[in-house]
Structure 1
Amino acid sequence: MRGRDDEWTDLMRSANAGDSVAYHRLLKSVTPVLRAGARQGLSRAGQPPDQAEDIVQDILLAVHLKRQTWDANAPFAPWLFAIARNKLIDALRRRGRRIFVNIDDFAETIPSEPPAETLPTVEISNHLADLPPRQRDVLRSIAVDSVSIKNTASKLSMTEGAVRVALHRGLASLAAKLRKD
């Protein structure tokens, strides 16, 4: 392990001094190590390792762009692995928390047709008819017609707060009525 670190450090010193062959050898030598580390990091995070190559390319690009910031008196490997760790973290943050599930596993449980309405339209209209006019209009607009609170307020010449109050009271009245029935 120590021999590899010394070799990488020597290659990076030569590369920064202008030796393109040393730079090419360095990149060729670190790439498999970075690829394995990226795959392992993705796997530990519960992510599929198929994105490892993108992370490796990000690491190599960062090394190339920032290579003049490396202290030639320090070992190269810790500097490289700090960049690799940060690029892996960046990639995981971009991906967010995702759980990959094969949809075929649930094909039998997913309904092929939408479920039927729970109450017929006539019955809904009858329940709404028993409400005060403002509550009925607000409920019909929001719950039946799927209009937003903002648009309902504009349509009924009410404030958004008044629409929310009417909606809450209308739902409470309906719930109480349905409990009695």
Structure 2
Amino acid sequence: MTMQEQAWADALRRERAGDGSRYAQFLEEYSSVLRRVVRGKLSGAGLDVQEAEDVVQEVLIAIHQRRDQWNDERPLLPWLGAISRYKTIDVLRRRRSELRLRIDLSEREWADLFVAADAPVVDAGARIEDMVSALPRVEQSVVRKLGIEGLSPREAAQATGMKEGTVRVAFHRGLARLLKLAQGGGR
């Protein structure tokens, strides 16, 4: 066991005894080590290293929530490493999944989405309504809630009785269909 690991293990033991000051220092020290590791993992996975702080916070929350599960007769680093590894993997999976669902359009593509080149701008509202009405019912509802009414995904989920993730997926699918419709590609 290294000196650092001994100090961190002692901090967790003291926290259990009611001394939270050393525990706070441990979290700060571990987060700086973890931040470097996570940045490397995100970069290696082709994701934005700016998201490292989100991962670090999730790991620290998980450690804090499970701190009573650590067996203080066993080494601390393998326990910390397991939590850190699994939380990082969870975030990487979630981010990759979100990236697959994301539709990135340029400002010009957004501007051209609902207006055909030969259609007058005043007809854009009617054209949008026609295209939204052509969507499947769930996508139609979600596009109206998020895109037209301006609700957040959480608010739209509450209004429709769906899960927030389902709302996000339906919205992105609806946008993809609208893009096809706007480009004359049908459903």
TM-score by length of 2: 0.52
Structure 2 counterpart of 1:129: none
Amino acid at match of 2:62: A
Q: CA RMSD in A?
A: 3.2
Is the contact between residue 8 and residue 77 of structure 1 (CA under 8 Å) also seen in structure 2? no
Structure 2 counterpart of 1:73: 73
Structure 2 counterpart of 1:53: 53
Structure 1 counterpart of 2:144: none
Q: Pick the structure with greater CA Rg.
A: 1
Is the contact between residue 11 and residue 26 of structure 1 (CA under 8 Å) also seen in structure 2? yes
State the shift of 1:147 in Å. Answer: 9.5
Amino acid at match of 2:54: D
Q: Aligned runs of 1:20-169 on 2, under 5 Å?
A: 20-96=20-96, 98=99
Structure 2 counterpart of 1:17: 17
Partner-residue secondary structure (3-state), 1:18? coil
Could you tell me which runs of 5 or more consecutive residues in structure 2 were left unpaired when the two chains were aligned: 119-133, 137-187
- Runs of 4+ in structure 1 deviating by more than 4 angstroms, as ranges, are 111-116
Amino acid at match of 2:73: N
CA distance in 1 between counterparts of 2:96 and 2:135 reads: 32
Could you tell me which runs of 5 or more consecutive residues in structure 1 were left unpaired when the two chains were aligned: 117-145, 149-181
Deviation sequence 1:89-134 (CA, Å, 0-9, x none): 111111125389x978xx9xxx999799xxxxxxxxxxxxxxxxxx
CA distance in 1 between counterparts of 2:42 and 2:105 reads: 22
Amino acid at match of 2:17: A
> How many aligned positions are there?
116
TM-score by length of 1: 0.53
Structure 2 counterpart of 1:3: 3
CA distance in 2 between counterparts of 1:78 and 1:10 reads: 15
CA distance in 2 between counterparts of 1:147 and 1:91 reads: 32
CA distance in 2 between counterparts of 1:42 and 1:147 reads: 36
CA distance in 2 between counterparts of 1:40 and 1:13 reads: 30
